[in-house]
Every structure is written in C-alpha cells, then in structure tokens.
Amino acid sequence: MDRKEMVRQYKETPRPAGVYRVLHTPSGRTLLGSSSDAPARLNRVQTQLRTRGHPNRALQRDWNADGPDAFVFEVLDLLPPRKDADRDPSDDLRMLEELWLEKLELPADARY
C-alpha cells in the first residue's frame, strides 16, 4: 500500500468522538471535556502538560508539583459511529458531556 492510499484510508476512518477526563488523583479535581477525536485530545493535553504549555494554569500547576503519576487520563464515553459522516457532532458531544457531569456529581471546586 502506498502512502497516498494510507492517507486516504486514514481520512476516511471515522474519528472516535466522545467525552474524556483528566483526573488529579491526590485532589480529585477533574478536567472534563469532549472532542470529535477524544483520544487525540487526551494526547494533546498530555503533550501540553509535559511541555509546560497547558492553558489551564491550575491543572498545569498540579502537574508541575505532582508529576504524571498523579494523573489519570481516560476516555469515558464514545459516540457511536455516524452513517452521515459530514454531520457535526458538537450538539451530541455537549449533551454527552453534560450527562457525565451529572453522573460524576462534580462540585465546582472539584473541576479545573
């Protein structure tokens, strides 16, 4: 398989849209989010933290103080693959994220 074919297949593969969480285990504080590619977003968050460039100052401060072993990165839920791949999943992702906020019962002081 040539490079052009591999790129085409990658672009045609549906991305795993869903809800993710970054949990600081010592404090229980959580960064909850959603993305049209949840695993890639988690990877980005980890990279930003490792390079000391995450925009959330409190999260970055905890990372700097406690290191990577104090964190859990996980995809909590994925949307089922869509037949209409051109449809924007934003509304579904917002709803799914709200459901997870309710399920986790996170008080405001337990969120980043």
The pLDDT, as a whole number, for residue 9 is 81
The runs of H, that is alpha helices, within 13-56 are 38-50
| Segments making up each domain of the chain, as ranges | 16-110
The pLDDT, as a whole number, for residue 15 is 85
> Beta strands 71-78 and 30-35: pairing type?
unpaired
Q: Which CATH architecture has domain 16-110?
A: 3-Layer(aba) Sandwich (3.40)
Q: Which residues contact 70 (CB under 8 A, 6 or more apart)?
A: 24, 25, 26, 62, 63
**Can you give the pTM of this predicted structure?**
0.84
Q: What are the tens digits of pLDDT across the range 10-53?
A: 777 778 999 999 999 999 999 999 999 999 999 999 999 999 99
Q: What are the tens digits of pLDDT across the range 87-99?
A: 788 999 999 999 9
